[in-house]
Amino acid sequence: MSTAIGPDAAAVPSVDDVPESQPIAWRHRHLLDVDRLSTDELDLIMRTTDAMREVLARPIAKVPALRGRAVTILFYEASTRTRVSFEVAAKNLSADVVNIAASTSSVVKGESLIDTVRTVEALGAQMLVMRHSSSGAPYLAADIFSGSVLNGGDGWHAHPTQALLDLYTMRERMPGGSLAGRKVVILGDLLHSRVARSNIWTLTAAGADLWLCGPATLVRGFEAWANRGAAGRRFHLTTSVDEALRDADVVMALRIQRERMAGGLLPSMREYAARYGLTRERLALARPDALVMHPGPMNEGVEIAPDVAAGPQSVITDQVTNGVAVRMAVLYLLAGTRVPS
Amino acid sequence: MTGPAVDLEISRAWLVDPAAGREGPGEIVVRDGVFEAVTWLSGAEADGIGPDGVVIAPGFVDFHVHLREPGNEDAETVATGLAAAAHGGFTTVCAMPNTDPALDEPGVLTQIRAAAAASGSPVELLAHGAVTAGRTGEQLAAIGELADAGVVGFSDDGAPVRSATILRSALAYAGALGLPIVDHAEDASLTGGAEANDGYVATVLGLRGWPTAAEVAAVGRDLAVLADVVRDVPGARLHLTHLSTAGALDLVRAAKAAGLPVTCDVTPHHLGLTDEWLAGARRWAWEAGDDPWSDGALVGPPYDPSLRVNPPLRGRGDAAACLAALLDGTADAVATDHAPHTEVDKAVEFGLASNGISGLETALGILLAAVDAGRLPLLRAIGALTTGPMTLLAGRSRREAAGLVEGTAADLVVFDRSASWAVTPESLASRGKNSPLIGTELRGRVLLTVAGGRIAYEAPDA
């Protein structure tokens, strides 16, 4: 889908102003997935993130853009990194932030998601950031919430802001700021990964030569996607880590969870580490300046060796910093959304 | 309670009578609830009468519905379920026994028969008994008593008969009484936590995959057990309900060719809809392409919980196999698996939503869409709703045949293929508004349903 953003498409948003004053219209009320974002829209998010990075570099890293707006962060799954990142992002924009962790709310008493969202709205929320273990849950919330819903991760389905911060981090480090033709590898448990699914959309949109790699049990189902290349975007799939890593420009390792052993998907963590762990020896197959990424939290010594995670090629802490800027950008854009009537 | 016997004359309509193997221009006269005259027109009299207008067919028979009473009357009652049946053109329905308590002894059957009588609906209510007591899969239910009380089969539907040993006993015990075991074929060890047909759409949407192998493996087991039992109990019969996969239908095709006493049905939703609806596509299975993300098909919201159903909506190859099985007779009938649910059970996260589609009122519309698309002859579509399931009832219906037969009590449906109707929550008589077709228009508006010679449904402006 291509959305015409207008003649000002190259303009940099002036994020010190209120979002509604922007000359560039953002046309989506919610950010639920990245599958239907056009390349123009991705570029706008990247430029807005540039502006937010500039804000973060100021002595007082705060702008009044979202002053008086109520942002509720509703997380049904444990998370520190993403929740805090959204909270810092919203506060940097001067929004009023309320945090609800599902374990401490009436959710445990059996209140439905719809009731919870209605309650949050009645309490004044205008923007809702939510994380949920059930794929598609944010769509249910968006159906009844009168403001904007930002998907902070749903089941195995999508993690839009993670994919956007990954894209930003990669573009920032690539000569010319372009991923076109660059070999990007996502390594590990794809089956259960919302990060991988969202990255498929954004990285193929950015023109990357995308490779997915993992043990056969954890890449199952992606063959059909790779071959179809949904919306004309193809990628490669392999169980051979050597084939995947050879001459790669970017290597992103995904977290392996211990539950996968119980499900009969992996023999052992040890075997996974030996066959698929991102070690220094394996990384040597990639280009010498290849970036090392990980969405966190890491199992060091399993999917990534500690010396690789902390090594000179690692941009893992950049991902965290850029995460705040990207989330400021999408909060800002959604706050100024002009949905075509 | 029930209305008076009807007098009715309809001239210049398109008659479809699968029992007679014929369709064409004709007229019917019903006097005092009995077909007095069924006249086929020809020559000049038939001029201008086509199959695209008003159609008269025998009343439909549904071998598989859930009426939720007793125990879950918020979702459906016998009365609302029979009203939904009549609105869908059905004059005979067979209720599944997964009520609360389960229909595992004759008392519950007495109770729902009383509810049907109290409803005043002339639609015929038949029932399946449970295979096992409490549907727990452990001990046989009161199969003999239920047979005496008039059930039409035995099923633990909602769940498969998990133990092959129990299945073997049940096939033998019920078979000796001339009744089929109706199995929901699912190997549950392959479907723990499953949400959507294992495949491209589920992968992209991040839904837990529900492999076709779960059905194929279960059907393979069932057929092996049947072959074993039938050697000693020639009356043993197996009916496989709501088959959804090409693999399972191929097994049934081969088993029938080998002479095994097996029958099966497919649902309207498994032949008409595919898993791409979960992503937001809203086109018929025969219109589906390779990739809804590429061809502009995603026009609706994704993750609509009304699409969550067991077995799940499959890919277009499996949907085409369901249609092909109807065409070549591998599938004996279309059954709706009408599964009404409350909004409380459906307006939740996709993975938490109850399985099931409210289907009695949209079955005809889906089949007519296949007819309109040239995928299914009208006579076969109607046969799958009438003579096919009537054969499964093996004489246990009050009806002598599912046909337009002079001198018999009138069970008929009149629908207009040139008229569309909007599927809305208000338009459905069922309490279960969980239809993925809500918001769409279906061709083939039912104008009149007559059951047992009495009016069961009449369109408000007909």
Sorted by where each begins, the domain ranges of chain A are 19-155+322-335, 160-310
Judging contacts by C-beta atoms under 8 Å, the chain A residues touching residue B293 are: 35, 230-231
- What is the CB-side half-sphere exposure of residue B401 using CA atoms within 13 A? 14
Q: Is the ipTM of this complex over 0.90?
A: yes
| CATH number of the domain residue B301 falls in | 3.20.20.140
Range of the domain at B149: 59-401
> A264 at the B interface (CB within 8 A)?
no
The answer to whether the Cβ–Cβ distance between B349 and A157 falls below 8 Å is: no
Q: Please pick, among B275, B304, B337, B345, the residue that the annotation labels catalytic.
A: B337
> In Å, how far are A277, A322, B202 from A295, measured between CA atoms?
15, 12, 23
pLDDT value of position B283: 98
Q: Is B3 left (phi over 0), alpha (psi -120 to 50) or beta?
A: beta
At A2 the pLDDT is 39
Q: Note whether B291 contacts A228, CB cutoff 8 Å.
A: yes
Determine the pLDDT at residue B176: 98
Task: Give tens-digit pLDDT for B29-54.
Answer: 999 999 999 999 999 999 999 999 99
pLDDT of residue A22: 72
Chain B CB within 8 Å of residue A115 CB: no
Q: Which run of H or E residues covers position B25?
A: strand B22-31
Q: Both ends of chain B: CA-CA distance in Å?
A: 23
For the segment B18-27, the average pLDDT, to the nearest whole number, is 98
Collect all residues from B whose CB is shorter than 8 A from any CB in A: 195, 198-200, 202-209, 290-291, 293-294, 301-303, 305, 344, 347-352
Which residues have C-beta within 8 Å of that of residue B433, sequence separation ≥ 6? B343, B358, B425
In a domain, B7, yes or no: no
Show residues of chain A in contact with B349, CB under 8 Å.
113, 132, 134, 136-137, 140
Residues of chain A with pLDDT under 50: 1-7, 341
Q: Which long-range contacts (CB under 8 A, 24 or more apart) does A224-227 make?
A: A224/B199, A224/B200, A224/B203, A225/A200, A225/B200, A225/B203, A225/B204
**Is residue B1 scored above 60 in pLDDT?**
no
- Domain contains B199: yes
Q: Is B156 a catalytic residue?
A: no
**What is the nearest CA distance from B211 to chain A, expressed in angstroms?**
11
pLDDT tens digit sequence for B360-391:
999 999 999 999 999 999 999 999 999 999 99
Determine which of A218-232, A280-294, B115-129, B319-333 has the lowest per-residue pLDDT on average.
A218-232
pLDDT confidence band for B201 (50 / 70 / 90):
very high
Per-residue pLDDT at A7: 41
Whether the domain at A19-155+322-335 and the domain at A160-310 fall into the same CATH topology? yes
Residue B11 lies in a domain: no
What pLDDT sits at residue B195?
Answer: 98
User: For position A80, what pLDDT does the model report?
Assistant: 87
Longest Cα–Cα distance in chain B = 65
Q: Determine contact: A149 vs chain B, CB below 8 A.
A: no
Give the count of domains, chain B: 1
As a whole number, the mean pLDDT across chain B is 97
Q: Tell me the pTM.
A: 0.95
In a domain, B54, yes or no: no
Residue B141: pLDDT over 60: yes
Considering only CB atoms, B291 lies closest to which of A140, A222, A230, namely A230
For the segment(s) A19-155+322-335, the CATH number from 3.40.920.10, 3.30.70.3420, 3.90.950.10, 3.40.50.1370 is 3.40.50.1370
Residue B406 domain-assigned (yes or no): no
Residues of A in contact with B302 (CB under 8 A): 136, 139
Contact flag B204-A154 (C-beta cutoff 8 Å): no
Residue B430 lies in a domain: no
The reported pLDDT for the residue numbered A11 is 65
Residue A245 burial by Cβ neighbours in a 10 Å radius (0-12, 13-18, 19+): buried
- For chain B, what percent of residues have pLDDT higher than 90? 98
Tell me the CB-side half-sphere exposure of residue B450, using CA atoms within 13 A. 30
Which is more confidently placed, A210 or B3? A210
Fold of A160-310: Rossmann fold (3.40.50)
| Structure-token match 């049946």, residue found | B85
Q: Which pLDDT does position A20 carry in this prediction?
A: 78
Beta-carbon separation of B209 and A155 below 8 A? no
Q: Give residue A1's pLDDT.
A: 37
- Establish if B133 belongs to a structural domain: yes
Spatial CA neighbour of A174 closest among A319, A77, A289: A289
